[in-house]
Amino acid sequence: MNVNAYRRRKRDEAHTVFFDSDEMMSVYANVSVPSYETEYENKEMREAIRNIIRTKLSARQREAVIYVFYEGMTLKQAADAMGVNLTTVSTYIERALVKIKLNLEYMNLI
């Protein structure tokens, strides 16, 4: 198991919440099941975002986005992993999000 997976597992264990059956029923009573169209749109959006990350972002922007949004690192942890300043990672993330948004707009997905 790599270090990031270990950290993620420990973090998830720390945030695990246990409900009794009454609490679970009240939680599930207010949950609506998404329609097939909504699920399809969500899948299409996720695939488009992955494609934009792979093809439109610079290597450093891609690395920062993966660390922060997919591996759940903080900006400080991502900066340490990348060997750059915290402000540099913030800049990579900000520019990446702008590129992603512009590409999604161009594709008429938002």
Q: Is the residue at 25 inside a domain?
A: no
pLDDT at 19 over 90: no
pTM score, whole prediction: 0.64
Q: Is the residue at 69 inside a domain?
A: yes
Sign of the alpha-carbon torsion through 85, 94, 57, 63: positive
Q: Is the residue at 73 inside a domain?
A: yes
Residue 82's pLDDT is what? 96
Structural domain boundaries enclosing 102: 58-110
Q: Is the residue at 88 inside a domain?
A: yes
10 pLDDT band, cuts 50/70/90, is low
User: Could you tell me which residues come within 8 angstroms of residue 61 by beta carbon, excluding any fewer than 6 positions away?
Assistant: 92, 93, 95, 96, 99
Q: Is the residue at 18 inside a domain?
A: no
pLDDT at 28 over 50: no
Q: What percent of the chain has pLDDT over 90?
A: 59
CATH number, residue 108:
1.10.10.10
* Span 9-32, average pLDDT: 51
Q: Is the residue at 35 inside a domain?
A: no
Between residues 59 and 42, which one has the greater pLDDT?
59
Q: How many separate domains does the chain show?
A: 1
Q: Is the residue at 3 inside a domain?
A: no
Q: Is the residue at 8 inside a domain?
A: no
